[in-house]
Each structure stands twice: as structure tokens, then as C-alpha cells.
Amino acid sequence: MNEILKVVQLDKTFGGLKAVSGLSFSVAANEIVGLIGPNGAGKSTAFNLISGSIAPSGGTVTFHGRDITGQRPSRVVRHGLARTFQSASVYPRATVAENIYRGAISTLPGSVWTQALPSAGRRAGLARIAREVGEILELTGLGPYRDVPAGGLAYGHQKKLGVAIGIATRPSLLLLDEPAAGLNGEECAEFGRLLRVLREQRGLALLLVEHHMALVMELCQRIVVLVQGRKVAEGTPAAIRANPAVIEAYLGAPDYAHS
Ligand SMILES: Nc1ncnc2c1ncn2[C@@H]1O[C@H](COP(=O)(O)OP(=O)(O)OP(=O)(O)O)[C@@H](O)[C@H]1O
Ligand SMILES: [Mg+2]
């Protein structure tokens, strides 16, 4: 397995609470891995630790063979690891296209905006970005809304914009925190199609936190189950669905039994 992300013995303690405890797992190139578990299991905390929003109390995060433990998000994203947030995180007054553009700009060398004189390299970089923004608008179906302020988008489109901004940073791995939360059945299915396209056409690997079990079971090659900060199971969707410990701790709960 060509592992691109490797998390080893990751710990995070908030005061006396072990939000993440001894968590180890990996994601291979072009793989979709699900990270599931009940509310408060530590899924978002694990994302924050991997993407650099918070520093771990212990353990390591390795990405493409490089130790990125505790690195700031702005550095982590340059290595090709991007994330979306559980709550939609867009610049509400900027247009859809501008929001995607801002994501893409982070792939250019840091000094690009501070250079007084335009250079050939800078122009080429900006031309590439303009092309990529167009491609991403088309890919995500947000083309018709490109000039709409992001704050005025319907909720489902805002969630898609979060993904669009993430892929604009040219990641090899995208972490998605509940991308389908609050979407209706049809929107959820459409989101599933988008995630599949990201894997199949753009070659991305995805780490997916999601409570919509039908979506998780359909999309993921592998699933990691967290309960109270600890990994209690890992396996294929079929194995996870049949795992008695997972059913008892999570899948058997009334909220998820039929989803
Ligand atoms: N910054 C923080 N300070 C203190 N406690 C925190 C902090 N962030 C998270 N926690 C606690 O850590 C635990 C794990 O929270 P986390 O948000 O990671 O869960 P989750 O699995 O993402 O849940 P959900 O499915 O509801 O999003 C919870 O008990 C939460 O209250
Ligand atoms: Mg969460």
C-alpha cells in the first residue's frame, strides 16, 4: 500500500479529557477512508491535529514521508494536505470565484503579491490559477454561481464551495469534515458523485468524517471507527457494518440505524 498519510499514536488532552488517544491509521494514495464515530468521539480533533490547527499532546503525523507533526496549517497545505471545516468556512462577501481563487493563490510562492513589478513567472502562475478556477467551477457545478457573493449561496452550494476551495490548493489528500451534514437525500447523492469524481478523475485521496452512513459505506474503501478518542475498529465497509462493537457503540444508535 502506498501510504501518503501516516498517523502514529496520536494523543490530544484537553484539561483532563482525552479527546484523541493513541490513534494510529494511514491513508493510501487515491484511497477514500472514512473516519466515523458518535458525537464527541474526537473526529474533528483528529482533523485539527493532522492539519495543524492544534498541536498534539503526543504522537506523530507523517505525510509523503515527511514529519509534519505540529506544523502550521499554512505549511501543511503547501505539502498537499487540505481540509474543509465542519461549519461552512467561506469569505461571505467575496464571490464564489474569488473564494476559489484565494485557495489557489496559496499555491504560489509567498512573495507573489508583494512583488512590485510583474514578472513572467508571476504572470504564468496567475494564468494557471485562472484556468484552474474555471476547471474547479465546472467540476463542482458552481459555474452558474461564479459571480454570486458566497454568503448568498444556498447551504448545499456553500458546502460544495468549501470543497472547491480545498481542491484549489492542489492537494493529494483532502480532509472533509461532515461535508454532507444538513443536505437532503438528493443533495447528498450529488455530493457523493462529486467526491467520487475527485478520486477517479483528479487522483485525490480523501479522509471523510460523515454521519450519513449510506454515503460512507458507498464511497469508502476503508473505515476507521473512533469511540471516546480511541480507535475501536478498522476495516472494509462490509466488515465495519457487521462489527458488533461498532454496532453497539455507534451504528445501532437510533439516529443512525436507518441512515
Ligand atoms: N478546544 C477544545 N477544548 C476543550 N475540549 C474540546 C475542544 N475541542 C474538542 N473538545 C472536546 O473533545 C471531544 C471530542 O470533540 P470532537 O469535536 O473532536 O468530536 P467529534 O467526533 O468531531 O464530534 P461531532 O460528531 O459531534 O462533530 C469532545 O468531548 C469535545 O467536547
Ligand atoms: Mg466534529
Tens of pLDDT, residues 167-218? 999 999 999 999 999 999 999 999 999 999 999 999 999 999 999 999 999 9
CA of 253 to the centre of ligand 2 (A): 17
Q: pLDDT band for position 258 (50/70/90)? A: very low
Q: How many domains does the chain have?
A: 2
Q: Which atom of ligand 1 is nearest to the CA of 211?
A: 25
| pLDDT tens digits for range 18-44 | 999 999 999 999 999 999 999 999 999
Q: How many CA atoms lie within 13 A of 209 on its CB side?
A: 22
- Position 253 scores a pLDDT of 64
**Ligand 1 pocket, residue 42 CB under 6 Å:** yes
Is there a single domain that holds both residue 29 and residue 72? Answer: yes
Pick the ligand that lies closest to the CA of residue 55. Answer: 1
Query: 58 in a domain, yes or no?
Result: yes
Query: 142 in a domain, yes or no?
Result: yes
Is there a single domain that holds both residue 190 and residue 245? Answer: yes
CA of 109 to the centre of ligand 1 (A): 34
**Above 50 in pLDDT, residue 114?**
no
Main-chain dihedrals φ then ψ at residue 99, nearest 5 degrees = -60, -45
**% of residues, the chain, pLDDT over 70:** 92
Q: pLDDT band for position 251 (50/70/90)? A: confident
**Above 80 in pLDDT, residue 118?**
no
- Position 111 scores a pLDDT of 46
- Position 120 scores a pLDDT of 76
Q: pLDDT band for position 255 (50/70/90)? A: low
State how far the Cα of 249 lies from the Cα of 259, in Å rounded to an integer.
Answer: 16
Is there a single domain that holds both residue 100 and residue 67? Answer: no
- Which residues face 173 on adjacent strands? 81, 205
- Position 226 scores a pLDDT of 97
Which residue among 104, 131, 157 closes a domain? 157
CA of 24 to the centre of ligand 1 (A): 18
Higher pLDDT pick, 126 / 238 = 238
* CATH assignment at residue 198: 3.40.50.300
**Ligand 1 pocket, residue 19 CB under 6 Å:** yes
By most ligand atoms within 8 Å of CB, the mutation choice from 17, 39, 48 for ligand 1 is 17
Is there a single domain that holds both residue 68 and residue 177? Answer: yes
Is there a single domain that holds both residue 176 and residue 148? Answer: no
Q: Which domain holds residue 117?
A: 92-157
Which residue among 129, 157, 185 closes a domain? 157
Is there a single domain that holds both residue 69 and residue 102? Answer: no
Query: 61 in a domain, yes or no?
Result: yes
> Hey, whose CA ends up nearest to atom 3 of ligand 1?
14
Integer CA distances (angstroms), 49 to 52, 87, 156, 237, in order: 5, 17, 27, 25
- Position 259 scores a pLDDT of 47
Query: 256 in a domain, yes or no?
Result: no
